[in-house]
C-alpha cells in the first residue's frame, strides 16, 4: 500500500468511521466545501453531505456544547478546532459540562474535539500552542497526541469509537512532513497505550508528539558520537497515561529524560516525574530531568521561536548530562 501523510491518515480514519457508523458526523468552522484550514476534512462533505459535515459559526463553546447535546442523544460528533489554540474558548464547556456529564448525570458524551496544535512553524503565540496540560487536570476527559501517521489514523478511529470525550491533538508540523503506510483492514490503535519508538539500554527519553522525532534524532546522534544506547518512549495517549510502559523503561535504563514542547512549568513532564518518583524511585540512578519550552508565550520570529522551543541539540546536551551523572 502507498504511503500517505499524517494529515491524510487522519482524514482516512474519520472517513472510515463515518462510513462505518451513521451516528458519526463532523462540525467545525470552514470544514465543509472548503475542507478546513489545513484540509483535514477535504472531500468529506462532497462524500457524506452537508448534514454530516456541518459548517458552523465561529463559536467554539457553542459547537462543543452542541456536540455534547448530540452525543447525549446517540450521535458521535467530531468537532474541529480550526487551531487548537482556540480550544480555550470552549474550556468551560469541556471542563464543566462535557467532562462531568457521565459522572454527575450519567449522560453519555462520546465526542472528539480535534485540531492542529504545536509550534516549530512560525505561527506565533496563537497558532502554535500545546494546551494539553490545561486538560490533563480534568477528570472525565481523555487526551491523545500521536506522533506517527499510523497512530494518527488508528487513534482517531479509537477516539471516535470511545464512549468518553477525547481531545485529539494533531501536531501541524507533522501534518505533511510525516508519512506512513497504513496497516490493512480496520486499523485501531487503543488509547492509553504507549509505543516504544526506539529501544536502548543507557537512558530513556519519555516524550510525545513532535518531540518524539527530535528525540529519535538525538538518539541517533548520541549513538553515533557517544556510543550511548537511548530508548525513546512515545506516550501517544496522555490521559490515561501508560504508567506500566513508563515504569518498564525506567527499570530498564535507570535514567530518564522527559521531553515535551509545551512550557516547562506546570507541563506534563512534572506529572510524569511525580509518577516515576512514586512508582519506581529506587530504580533511578539519576534525577529525572526535563527538557521543555521556556516559560514564555511562543514568539513568532524564527530566532525567538527556536530559542524558546526544545531542539534536538537540547535533548543531546541533557542526555549527556544524565548519562554522566
Partner 1 sequence: MAVPSTTSPPANRSGLTPDQLLALYRWMRLTRTLEERLVALYRQTKVVGGLFRSLGQEACAVGSAFALERRDVLSPLIRNLGSMLVKGAEPLEILRQYMAKGDSPTRGRELNIHFGDVVDRNFVGQISHLGDMVPVMAGVTLTFRLRGEDRVGLVYVGDGATSTGAFHEGINFAAVQRCPLVVVVENNGYAYSTPTCKQTAAGQFVDKAIGYGIPGVRADGNDVLEVYRVTREAVERARGGGGVTLLELLTYRRKGHAEHDNQSYVAPGEIEPWAQHNDPIDRYAARLTTEFGFDVATLARTDDEVRSVVDAATELAENSPPCDGPDALIGVYANPPAMPALWYRDGVGPAVAAHERPASWGTHDG
Nearest approach, Cβ of residue 93 and partner 1 (Å): 6
The three cell numbers of residue 59 are 463559536
Q: At what angle do helices 312-324 and 210-226 cross, to 10 degrees?
A: 50
Binding flag, residue 285, partner 1 (CB under 8 A): no
β-bridge partners, 3: 181
Binding flag, residue 68, partner 1 (CB under 8 A): yes
List, edge to edge, every strand of the sheet that includes 237-239: 53-55, 24-28, 76-80, 112-117, 166-171, 142-144, 237-239
Residue choice 1, 2, 185, 278 for contact with partner 1 (CB under 8 A): 278
Residues 6+ apart with CB under 8 A from 38: 7, 116, 172, 175
202 an active-site residue? no
Binding flag, residue 31, partner 1 (CB under 8 A): no
The three cell numbers of residue 237 are 495517549
Nearest approach, Cβ of residue 243 and partner 1 (Å): 11
Residue choice 17, 85, 164, 262 for contact with partner 1 (CB under 8 A): 164
Binding flag, residue 240, partner 1 (CB under 8 A): yes
Residue choice 13, 35, 36, 77 for contact with partner 1 (CB under 8 A): 77
Residue choice 75, 188, 196, 264 for contact with partner 1 (CB under 8 A): 75
CB-wise, 77 or 116, nearer to partner 1? 77
Concatenated DSSP letters for 166-227?
Answer: EEEEEETTTTTT-EEEPPSSS----TT--EEEE--SSEEEEE-THHHHHHHHHHHHHHHHH-
- Cα 215–chain centre separation: 16
Distance CA 94, CA 113 (A): 9
Residue choice 16, 30, 42, 69 for contact with partner 1 (CB under 8 A): 69
Nearest approach, Cβ of residue 273 and partner 1 (Å): 17
What residue ranges bind partner 1 (CB under 8 A)? 25, 51-52, 54, 56-57, 59, 61-75, 77, 92-93, 96-97, 100, 102-108, 139-140, 142, 162-164, 240, 278
Q: Give the catalytic positions in this structure.
A: 127
Amino acid at each position: 500500500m502507498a504511503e500517505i501523510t499524517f494529515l491524510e491518515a487522519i482524514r482516512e480514519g474519520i472517513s472510515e468511521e463515518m462510513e462505518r457508523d451513521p451516528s458519526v458526523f463532523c462540525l467545525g468552522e470552514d470544514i465543509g466545501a472548503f475542507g478546513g484550514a489545513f484540509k483535514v476534512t477535504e472531500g468529506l462533505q462532497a462524500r457524506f453531505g452537508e448534514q454530516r459535515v456541518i459548517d458552523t459559526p465561529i463559536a467554539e463553546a457553542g459547537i462543543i456544547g452542541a456536540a455534547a447535546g448530540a452525543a447525549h442523544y446517540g450521535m458521535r460528533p467530531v468537532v474541529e478546532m480550526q487551531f487548537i489554540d482556540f480550544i480555550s474558548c470552549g474550556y468551560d464547556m469541556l471542563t464543566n459540562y462535557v467532562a462531568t456529564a457521565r459522572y454527575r448525570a450519567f449522560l453519555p458524551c462520546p465526542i472528539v474535539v480535534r485540531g492542529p496544535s504545536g509550534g516549530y512553524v512560525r505561527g506565533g503565540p496563537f497558532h502554535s500552542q500545546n494546551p494539553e496540560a490545561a486538560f490533563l487536570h480534568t477528570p472525565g476527559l481523555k487526551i491523545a497526541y500521536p506522533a506517527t501517521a499510523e497512530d494518527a489514523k488508528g487513534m482517531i478511529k479509537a477516539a471516535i469509537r470511545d464512549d468518553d470525550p477525547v481531545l485529539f491533538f494533531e501536531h501541524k508540523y507533522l501534518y505533511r512532513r510525516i508519512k506512513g503506510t497504513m496497516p490493512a483492514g480496520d486499523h485501531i490503535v487503543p488509547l492509553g497505550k504507549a509505543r516504544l519508538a526506539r529501544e536502548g539500554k543507557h537512558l530513556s527519553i519519555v516524550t510525545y508528539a513532535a518531540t518524539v522525532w527530535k528525540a529519535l534524532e538525538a538518539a541517533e546522534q548520541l549513538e553515533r558520537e557517544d556510543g550511548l544506547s537511548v530508548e525513546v518512549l512515545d506516550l501517544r495517549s496522555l490521559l490515561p497515561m501508560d504508567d506500566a510502559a513508563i515504569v518498564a523503561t525506567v527499570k530498564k535504563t535507570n535514567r530518564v529524560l522527559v521531553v515535551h514542547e509545551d512550557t516547562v512549568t506546570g507541563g506534563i513532564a512534572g506529572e510524569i516525574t511525580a509518577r516515576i518518583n512514586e512508582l519506581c524511585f529506587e530504580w533511578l540512578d539519576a534525577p529525572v530531568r526535563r527538557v521543555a519550552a521556556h516559560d514564555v508565550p511562543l514568539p513568532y520570529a524564527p530566532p525567538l521561536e527556536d530559542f524558546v522551543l526544545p531542539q534536538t541539540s537540547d535533548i543531546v546536551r541533557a542526555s549527556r548530562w544524565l548519562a554522566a551523572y
